[in-house]
A = this chain, B = another copy of it.
């Protein structure tokens, strides 16, 4: 990949007024990234998850934060919310086609970070040692 590639786009996350910065934050925020990642890691045949299933997969998220995260992703058109009028109501979440594309790039980043953590932890040790240990 050519890292110097700078496409001529109408939207620019580096500009603080651009709406793309907000969407990038929904996608890469602590819970947004893990929520999209959890939905993207599902086998194709079972592409949706109920709220509580999602909450178990995104270890550590509160009910309130997961709810806010899902609303922001739904509003941006990345997640589809399907509510069945049963009693109790059954609500499923799944990625939209755009959400799958975004989550695919995100998973590629997540897998790279997970795969290189040995290097990251060695770097941290060198950094802390050079500064007298912490």
Chain A residues proximal to chain B, CB less than 8 Å: 1, 3-7, 9-16, 19-20, 23-25, 27-30, 33-34, 37-38, 40-44, 57-60, 74-78, 98, 100-117, 119-124, 126-128
Contact = CB atoms under 8 A, between A and B. Distances in A.
A128 B75 CA distance: 8
**Copies held by the complex:** 2
Nearest to A9: B114
A102 B98 contact: no
A25 B14 contact: no
A123 B76 contact: yes
Nearest to A42: B4
Nearest to A32: B28
A81 to B, nearest CB: 10
A25 B28 CA distance: 8
B3 A120 contact: no
Main secondary structure of the interface of A (DSSP, over half): helix
Contact of A106 (B19, B109, B124): B109
A19 B126 CA distance: 16
A58 B4 contact: no
Enumerate the 9 nearest inter-chain pairs by beta-carbon distance, A residue then B residue, closest first.
Answer: A77-B123, A16-B60, A28-B28, A105-B109, A11-B117, A11-B114, A75-B127, A16-B59, A9-B114
Given A30-B25, A41-B4, A58-B14, A116 B98 contact: yes
